[in-house]
Amino acid sequence: MHADLSNLLELQKVEAEISRLNAEVASLPKRFQAIESKLAHAKDRVEKAKAAIKADEVAKRKYESDIKSQQDKIVKYREQSSGVKTNDQYKALLHEIEGSEQEIRRLEDKILETMEDAENKDRELKAAEAALKTDAVIVEKEKAEAKALSAEDEKLLHEFRQKEAKLRRGVGEDSLRNYDRISRHRGTGLAEAREQRCMGCQVMMRPQVFADLRRGDVVRACESCSRLLYYVPENAPEAGPKLNTTVEKTWMFLPHIGQRGVFAVFVNHKGTAQMRTFDAETGRFLEKHSEKGKNYLQAFAHQMEHGRELFVDQAGLEDEKEQLPTEALEDLRRQVPQQADQTPALGE
């Protein structure tokens, strides 16, 4: 792997960790707030239970005061009854006395209800106080853990930032500038190239680009998402290619074969890789090679590594078994001098 890519790959991991730590540090105030809120909720339960008990005590005293008032009325009515002169007046006083006695019984029932409710409230208060005590211990522990995590995060951030600075110094200026620009736009600056596909955007790449990446001595960018690409040989699939009935085809100019080079078409079809070559001057068919259970990237990697990809109208080259059509041959030949200037490798 190119030295810049190796350092950038490590840099991307370090910066991802820095981003994670920054997010964790930024979330700590909210975490402290949530911890304090838990304790505040427990305290609120205690205060509400105390307020409810106090309300029952106030109500009980009021009922007792009302009973005293009714008892005073009864005493007064009985004193008045000894001085009444008519039977109607006496009955009226008895009626008032009965009314006060009924009110006293009602108030006494209220006092009993209040006392029972007070007992329940007292149990709720004790439970709330016990929960508060437990929560206070838990909260103090969580606060201590959060503070320790904050301190550890700050320490790690300092270490990772030093490592980040060191890695940046080890990357070429152009590569680093491209990496930073792409990272700001895409979130990540690098993506793995695997099975001729950019794993960042999942777009297939041209065979020549993939061959360059496999060689490992240049820095190239994905033509779709612009991420810098790196190739990991260990991640290449061990199994053979997936067999299918579709036809995949690409054309290349191979300057290292013959005196003037050849045009070659590489084909994947039904689990077989084929390479057919044609004379670059006459378009005459030269030879054919086939390998089963492989795709052309695996079977003819060496030939493709030194080739130059050509862009052709595939529909115009369906009958090229023995001879390339004149128009197609001229189109292929026109591209050969231009290929050296196309798609330069970054950093070359």
203-249 residue pLDDT tens: 888 888 888 888 888 888 898 899 999 998 888 765 444 444 345 78
Residues 161 and 208 reside in one and the same domain: no
Reported as a single tens digit per residue, the pLDDT across 305-342 is: 878 887 766 555 655 678 888 888 888 888 776 443 44
| pLDDT score at 316 | 53
What is the Cα–Cα distance from 278 to 251, expressed in whole angstroms?
11
Q: Which two tokens stand for residue 173?
A: 């200026």
Q: Do 223 and 251 reside in the same domain of the chain?
A: no
**Looking at residues 132-152, what average pLDDT do you find?**
85
Question: How many CB atoms neighbour CB 5 within 10 A?
Answer: 23
Write out the H or E segment, with its range, that includes residue 133. Answer: helix 87-169
Domain match, 94 and 26 both: yes
346 has pLDDT over 80 = no
Looking at residue 159, its pLDDT comes to 94
Average pLDDT over residues 273-289: 91
Write out the residue range of the structural domain in which residue 320 sits. Answer: 247-339
Q: Which helix (H) or strand (E) holds 314?
A: none
Tokens (6 digits) for 37: 């809120």
pLDDT band at 5 (very low <50, low <70, confident <90, very high): confident
Hey, is 281 helix, strand or coil? coil
- Which pLDDT tens digit goes with each residue over 101-123? 999 999 999 999 988 888 888 88
- Same domain? 220 vs 305: no
The reply to whether 7 and 45 lie within a common domain is yes
Q: Are residues 126 and 211 in the same domain?
A: no
Distance CA 184, CA 294 (A): 39
Q: How far apart are CA 277 and CA 264, in angstroms?
A: 4
Between 266 and 347, the higher pLDDT residue: 266
Does 45 have pLDDT greater than 60?
A: yes
pLDDT confidence of residue 24: 86
Return the half-sphere exposure (C-beta side, CA atoms, 13 A cut-off) of residue 343: 19
Q: Among the three residues 185, 203, 235, which one is the final residue of a domain in this structure?
A: 235
Question: How high is the pLDDT of residue 339?
Answer: 42
Q: What is the average pLDDT across 250-265? A: 87
State yes or no: pLDDT of 290 exceeds 70: yes
**Whole-number Cα distances in Å, 147 to 138, 140, 141, 239:** 14, 10, 10, 50
- Specify the number of domains making up the chain: 3
The CATH number assigned to the domain holding 53 equals: 1.10.287.1490
In this structure, the dihedral spanned by the alpha carbons of residues 323, 326, 331 and 332, taken in order and rounded to 10 degrees, is 20
> Is 179 inside any structural domain?
no
Rounded to an integer, what distance in angstroms lies between the CA atom of residue 294 and that of residue 152? Answer: 51
Mean pLDDT of 20-31: 85
- The pLDDT score that the predictor gives to residue 181 is 92
Give pLDDT tens digits for 158-196.
Answer: 999 999 999 999 998 988 998 999 999 888 899 999 888
Tokens of 284: 């005459």
Q: Report the pLDDT value the prediction gives residue 314, as an integer from 0 to 100.
A: 56
The residue whose two tokens read 């089963």 is 292
Is 199 found in the same domain as 60? no
Kindly state whether residues 321 and 202 are assigned to the same domain: no
Residue 249 backbone dihedrals phi, psi, to 5 degrees: -140, 140
- 242 lies in some domain: no
d(CA 249, CA 103): 103
Structural domain contains residue 206: yes
